[in-house]
Structure 1
Amino acid sequence: MSKLNLSVAVGNYDRMRPLVDGEVQIDGVDPVFMLQDPEEIFFRAFRHADYDICELSLSSYSVKTAAGTSPYIGVPVFPSRAFRHTSIYVRNDCGIETPSDLKGKRIGVPEYQLTANVWVRLFLEEDHGLKASDVTWVRGGYEETGRQEKIKLNLPSDVRLEDAPDRETISSLLATGEIDAVIGPRAPSCFTNGHPNVRYLYNDPQKAAVDWYSRTKLFPIMHLLGVRRSLAEQHPWLPGAVAKAFEKSKALALAKLSDTSATKVTLPFVEEQLRAARLLLGQDFWSYGFEANRHVLSRFLTRHHAEGLSDRRLEPEELFHPATLETFKI
């Protein structure tokens, strides 16, 4: 039997390299890998379903799954996870000293429904009482004008969402003080370039995230993997084969990271950071699989529906191909 020649679009992460380099094979598949940034993958996936297998935004996929319009079915492989206390940038000259001071402010976002923004709004409300309706949201491209939401939203009537002026970006608006803060998965360039009036909201974002995890046991999932639904229907073995290969690729990447006889990444003290991550999050700190992540997915889906992003409250099982909800054991 000839192998399936399939396109695979993912980020250029260490956990993908064994697959991309051919060290790990997907059973029955001859893949064509495309290493792209999330913005390109998600735009092409949700607008045109360009890929056979690809990384997907958890939020966008949840919107489409609840509506019954997703061209992809999920696999419990989570290429991107991140604590998002580092994702809030504020002006230091507009009276924002604590998260609750964001009330009444104008906050820029590249897209309202981005997964990172859902997680940020979750902990801002639960920990600091800040509701989505307490601020004015200004939507636009970080560094390029004209960015739009990838998918149509139907937000609650009390959520105020404006588009950025035609010739302005989110970064330029923050730099000039026309907005008070930015929330999103990337840092705006005015922050990375050292603007004197732009800083993190949290003085120590890592400490804030560690404290939050200690209380909630949530290591936020940003992205999952998707297989074209028509392919999964035609080849029901495919989602399981994909899950197995990506799990093996991650395991090999972590084994290489753990070998500090010659450090594999351009960063000092890797062994100390790896040890700290495992002390906080457990040995399998970047877990794939359904059961290990059920509680994280459940909290996200509850919040997602409460925000009006998904038109019904999805159960975590609905996100994934049935064959990937359990695995064999020896």
Structure 2
Amino acid sequence: MSATGDTTTPLTVMLGNHPHTRALKDGTVPVEGVECRYPESTPLPPAFARMVRELAYDICEMPLATYLQAREAGVPVTLLPVVLVGSTHHRALTRLPESPRIAPGDLVGRRVGVRAYGQTTGLWVRGWLQEEYGVKASDVTWVTTEDVHVAQYVNPSYVERSQAGRVVDLLRSHDVSAAVLGPKAVGGQGAGLVPLVPDAEAAGLAWTERHGTVPANHLLVVRDDVLHRAPDAVRAVHRALAQAIEATAGERDDSPAGRAVAAGWSDSLTACLEIGARYALEQGLIREPVDVTAIEEKTAFLDT
């Protein structure tokens, strides 16, 4: 990749509000030589759909599962090596506190709620369900409250669309036995719900030790035309995010969520992508294996 390119055209950069992204938005960490515009989306997920359906932004935060599906659908975006949000997800599989106790292995033949079948938290939960309990994605009926971001994707036959407003409503109406909630929802609509895994934090840590990585939820993508037209500008954004992540390190603890946030290619990120891609293939989120090396090669120049 050439180190030349247009750095004068403003870049539209869609980022969620995290400590390491606010530093860019408020100018504490400047993007040297590049004018960036930071639109807002509250909530953030609709911006993911706009990116993969309309290429609405030059650079955009994006969930891992959405990226994998968009890549297979031919959406012209390239993954940038920045993990903006990540954590373990054994605590994400929940039930009502007053409902009968069930173990993850008891979910075969049952109904489980999830925001969308393509939600990245669901990807990771289904991954450890199969890996640790032998429960395949197709063993469960997944009841969703939203569509996937990538319009070209068609849900498997074992996915059902509900008209319920929120995932927690599926639980409260007893339409499902358990529900998958994303990191923010666990402490929001999911307050008071009980994890199916008794010691979810320890189980999550065991997963990270076994695999040598922390599951990534949100990474970063750039439109291919922007990457080819202005590689220097893309490099500058990547460099600024790396600086902001380093500058805000003191605001993160040593939990998996704190350790997940990182910039640059690493063995941990490679392992994360390989495992996530394998899970996605097993679950029918994608149909073809993913060549992670090819993904890395497209943006290896960012680390030089």
TM over 0.5: same fold?
A: yes
C-alpha separation in 1, matches of 2:177 and 2:274: 32
Q: Percent identity?
A: 25
- Choose 243-252 or 18-27, whichever is displaced more: 18-27
Provide the secondary structure at the position in 1 that maps to 2:216.
coil
Q: TM-score, normalised by structure 2?
A: 0.86
Number of the residue aligned with 2:181: 184
Number of the residue aligned with 2:3: none
Q: Does 1:240 align with 2:235?
A: yes
Provide the secondary structure at the position in 2 that maps to 1:153.
coil
C-alpha separation in 1, matches of 2:84 and 2:285: 22
C-alpha separation in 2, matches of 1:49 and 1:326: 22
Structure 1 segments, 4+ long, off by >4 Å, are: 92-95
C-alpha separation in 2, matches of 1:312 and 1:84: 25
Provide the secondary structure at the position in 2 that maps to 1:224.
strand
Larger radius of gyration: 1
Q: CA deviation at 1:49?
A: 1.6
Q: 1:3 aligns with which of 3, 8, 23?
A: 8
Matches within 5 A, 1:56-95: 56-67=62-73, 69-92=74-97, 95=100
Q: CA deviation at 1:66?
A: 2.0
**For residue 34 of structure 1, what is the amino acid of its counterpart?**
P
Provide the secondary structure at the position in 1 that maps to 2:39.
strand
Provide the secondary structure at the position in 2 that maps to 1:237.
helix
Q: 2:158 aligns with which of 160, 164, 174?
A: 160
C-alpha separation in 2, matches of 1:43 and 1:100: 33
8 Å contact from structure 1 (residues 91, 177) kept in 2: no
Q: 1:321 to 1:237 in 2, by over 3 A?
A: farther
Q: CA deviation at 1:325?
A: 5.6
User: Number of residues paired by the alignment?
Assistant: 294
Root-mean-square deviation (CA, aligned residues, Å) is 2.6
Provide the secondary structure at the position in 1 that maps to 2:262.
coil
Q: 2:51 aligns with which of 40, 45, 50?
A: 45
Number of the residue aligned with 1:311: 287
8 Å contact from structure 2 (residues 238, 302) kept in 1: no
Number of the residue aligned with 2:275: 299
Q: 1:93 to 1:21 in 2, by over 3 A?
A: closer
Q: CA deviation at 1:133?
A: 1.4
8 Å contact from structure 1 (residues 170, 188) kept in 2: no
C-alpha separation in 2, matches of 1:207 and 1:74: 31
8 Å contact from structure 1 (residues 104, 134) kept in 2: yes
Q: TM-score, normalised by structure 1?
A: 0.80
Q: 1:285 to 1:55 in 2, by over 3 A?
A: closer
Per-residue CA distance 1:281-306 (angstroms, 9 max, x = gap): 9x966332223311111111122122
Q: Where in structure 1 are there 5+ consecutive unaligned residues?
A: 141-146, 258-269
Q: Where in structure 2 are there 5+ consecutive unaligned residues?
A: 1-5
Q: Does 1:18 align with 2:20?
A: no
C-alpha separation in 2, matches of 1:25 and 1:100: 49
